[in-house]
Amino acid sequence: MIVHVPDPLTPPLKFNTVQPDLYRGAYPREVNFEFLRTLNLKTVISLTPHPVTEESDRRFYEFCQKENIKLVHLECAKSGKGKKRGVPLGYTTILDALNYVIHKQHAPVYVHCINGSQVTSLVIACLRKLQFWSSIAIFNEFISFATNITVNDRNFVEGFKGELNINFDDKVDWLWVGMSKGVVENHPRLRITDVAPRAHQ
């Protein structure tokens, strides 16, 4: 009797669980599709120079279509050369990514760049900044996935600022565990506005 042993599931390079229903890693290859299927993803955020299309990557595109996964493309340069602050993306792109990451309606989410290193790490580092993590904790996590961390990377994360409109009724449960709304809305680096709809009184 021949027993068929299923092929082992293969995660993308540098895959990791960031928080419940939030994952990070490198650009998925066909060998990773069965693994990704187990995550029941609703959204894939591609931090890449070009979007995933039927013409650019038919297999990945068709996988997402079949699994009803929303493909979100946030354009990033191949390298930090010639970019402001010496990094391949700006704060607007970070804020766009966070808007997907922190709202339940988009979860589970997989965030990836080309190699799962610098670009994805910058997004997650800024997420940690939003979560009130210390710089030491943020950069320790960063170097776990990137070969190194440059002065430009550090300065970019330390200087992260902007405005986030958050639907507090839809935010992920893990975002600010144990913190009061008053503390959150007085974030030292970010202007946070609650845009949850309110019933007429």
- Give the largest Cα separation in the chain, rounded: 71
Distance CA 76, CA 89 (A): 5
Closest CA relative to residue 121, chosen from 85, 99, 97: 97
Distance CA 88, CA 195 (A): 30
Q: Are 43 and 100 in contact (CB under 8 A)?
A: yes
Catalytic-residue membership of 113 = yes
The one-letter amino acid at 154: R
- Which residues are tagged catalytic? 113
